[in-house]
Amino acid sequence: MIAADIAITGLIVGGVYSLIAIGLTLQYGVARILNLAYGETFVASAFGAYWLYDSLSMSPLVGLVVILPAAFIVNWLIYSFLLTPLVRRAANRDALEVDSILFTFGLLFVVQGVLLVIFGGQYYSYSYLAVPLDFLGSVVPVNRLIAFGVAVALGLVLYLLLVRSRIGTAVRAVAVDPRSASLVAINVRSVSALAFAVGGTLCAAGGALISMFYTFNASMGVAFTMKALIVVIMGGVGNVLGALVAGLLLGVAETSVSRLIDPGLTLAATFLLFILVLLVRPTGLFGRSS
């Protein structure tokens, strides 16, 4: 019974991990920006959902209609105006990586500082649809199920867009090789900006969804950045389906460790998994060996 419990709880958390990892894989795999402030988008969005619910009594699910376009615009502006100069001057991918790591770390502090000034350092939570439901023999709150459902739906929509649409093909082409992509008349810069913005939007969706059942504070973004990075690498950089599966896997692994061993060791377990994957399959669980 406990196994089924772990599986269901783990998969539900994992769904949100998958969503934010897919967003990060777009930002890092396509736009080539290693965004250390990624988790801040997540936390900012959680606070946004909280604020909409608390002051305007807006359901977080309706709140997504406000939060997602806002996240898209903000991320698009960040890429177009703040990151493009760095992309343009970068001599090679390594240089861009160092620049983007340091830049987004600065951004992390700015966002975190603003959140701290507005909300302070304490933990926040609110209760929305925290109704227990009997699901496949386990008791699961409805809000978690909804979060999982929305996350999976968003992930699938994105996957279909990438595989079936013209612009999705362009995004995948840039992910493989920006220089060749520009040779076949793909505007690499605008595709990158789009990918960065969509990535940030998915991350914001994850934050708004998780805020329904999770306590959060202004300084926990880094932990989510870490988890998203680990999932991305496990799934293979730029691989959307890989991120989906690796995210679910991480959710189950974390829940197992937390239930069976010690909740304090979840991150340690995550890291162990990460190292094992890197040593055994350096290109990710589903990456092609080069």
Partner 1 sequence: MNRPRWLVPALLTVAAALLAPLPFIVNDYYLSLGISLLNYSILATAWALFSGPTRYISLATVAFFGIGAYTVAVLYETLPLALLLVAVILVAALLAAVVGLSTLRLSGVYFVIFTFGLAELIRQLVTWFEVNVSRSLGRYIFVEYGSSVIYWQLLGLALLVFVGGWFLKRSRFGLALRMIGDDEPVARHAGVETTRVKLLTFILAAVVMALCGAVMAPRWVYLDPVIAFNPTLSFEVVIMALLGGANSLFGPLLGAVPLVLLFEAITANFPNTFSILLGVVFIAIVYFLPKGVLGLVAGLRLRRGSVSTSGFDADSAVALSGAVADSGQGAAASAPTAAVSAPSGEPGEPLLEVRGLRRTFGGLVAVRSLDLGLHEGEIVGLIGPNGSGKTTALNVISGALAPSEGTILLRGRSIGGKAPERIADAGVARTFQLVRVFGSLNCRENVEAGLAFRPQPLQGAQAHDESERLLAQVGLAGKGEWPAAQLTYIDQKRLELARSLAQDPSVLLLDEWLAGLNPSELVVGIELLQSLRGQGIAILLVEHVMDAIRALCSRCVVMSAGQVIASGPTDEVLSDEEVVKAYLGAEDA
Q: How many helices (H) and strands (E) does the chain have?
A: 12, 2
SS3 155: helix
Q: Which listed residue (55, 92, 94, 164) binds partner 1 by CB under 8 A? A: 94
| Number of residues counted as binding partner 1 (CB under 8 A) | 42
Place of tokens 């699938």: 156
| Minimum distance, C-beta of residue 262 to partner 1, in the bound complex (Å) | 7
194 three-class SS: helix
Judged by CB under 8 A, the residue of 12, 75, 99, 199 near partner 1 is 99
Smallest distance from partner 1 to CB 87, Å? 13
Query: How far is residue 46's CA from residue 215's CA, in Å, rounded to a whole number?
Result: 10
Listed in order, strand segments (DSSP E) in the chain are 132-135, 138-141
Torsion, Cα of 35, 40, 42, 48 (10° steps): -140
3-class secondary-structure state, position 146: helix
Contact 247/235 with Cβ under 8 angstroms?
A: yes
Report 191-230 residues binding partner 1 (CB under 8 A).
Answer: 222-223, 226, 229-230
Q: Which amino acid is at 87?
A: V
Looking at 9, 35, 41, 112, which residue binds partner 1 (CB under 8 A)?
Answer: 112
Of these, 2, 4, 77, 85, which contacts partner 1 (CB under 8 A)?
A: 85
Residue 169 or 215 with smaller CB distance to partner 1:
215
Q: Which stretch binds partner 1 (CB under 8 A): 12-20, 57-65, 208-216, 273-281?
A: 273-281
Binding string, 252-271, against partner 1, x = CB under 8 A?
Answer: ----------x-xx-xx--x
> Scanning residues 7 to 66, which ones bind partner 1 (CB under 8 A)?
34, 36
5 binds partner 1 (CB under 8 A): no
249 binds partner 1 (CB under 8 A): no
Q: 167 or 268: whose CB is closer to partner 1?
A: 268
Distance CA 71, CA 256 (A): 33
Question: With CB under 8 A as the contact rule, which of the stretches 11-19, 114-122, 148-156, 187-195 interacts with partner 1?
Answer: 114-122
Strands 138-141, 132-135: pairing is: antiparallel
| C-alpha torsion sign, points 221, 222, 228, 232 | positive
* Nearest distance in Å: CB 218, partner 1: 10
Binding letters toward partner 1, positions 117-156, x by CB under 8 A: x---------------------------------------
- Using DSSP, state whether 124 is helix, strand or coil: strand
Q: For Cα atoms 223, 61, 46, give the angle at the middle one, nearest 5 degrees.
A: 25
How is 86-97 classified by DSSP, letter by letter? HHHH-SSHHHHH
Binding region for partner 1 (CB under 8 A): 34, 36, 82, 85-86, 89, 94, 97-99, 101-103, 105-114, 116-117, 222-223, 226, 229-230, 233, 262, 264-265, 267-268, 271, 274-275, 278-279, 282
